[in-house]
Amino acid sequence: MSRGIWFVAGAGVGVYAVTRARRVAEAFTSEGLRDRLAGLAVGARLLRDEVRAGQQESETQLRERLGLVPHGIPELGAADPGPDALAGAPHPTDDHPEGTTRGHR
């Protein structure tokens, strides 16, 4: 019985080796190399598309967090008076009497 087991094991290893050798030989033919290069190109395209989609998603999330509109100009909310409302306001350092320099000589 032990000879039968070794015979089956040897036959299995032989079949595996022949199948593997055929695959390797096919991979190094012109068609096999062309198929591998085509697969590599498809993989590179998929990676590029995934990276681009991730960049766009991250940029969208960042713009939402910063309150930017799609064209890059910040939006002014209703609570923000804007620069025109502050145009007539006195500067905070202008409240010292004439001739004094707030401790500076």
- Give the tens place of pLDDT for each residue, 43-100: 999 999 999 999 999 999 998 888 887 665 666 666 655 565 555 555 555 555 555 5
Is 57 domain-assigned? yes
Is 12 domain-assigned? no
Is 35 domain-assigned? yes
Is 66 domain-assigned? yes
pLDDT of residue 91: 58
Name the 3-class secondary structure at 74.
Answer: strand
Residues 4-20 pLDDT 10s = 999 999 999 999 999 99
Based on the structure, what is the number of domains in the chain? 1
Is 104 domain-assigned? no
Is 4 domain-assigned? no
Is 17 domain-assigned? no
What is the pTM (predicted TM-score) of this model? 0.45
State the residue range of the domain holding 47.
30-70
Is 45 domain-assigned? yes
Q: How many CB atoms lie within 10 A of CB 57?
A: 10
Name the 3-class secondary structure at 99.
Answer: coil
Max CA pair span of the chain? 115
Name the 3-class secondary structure at 39.
Answer: helix
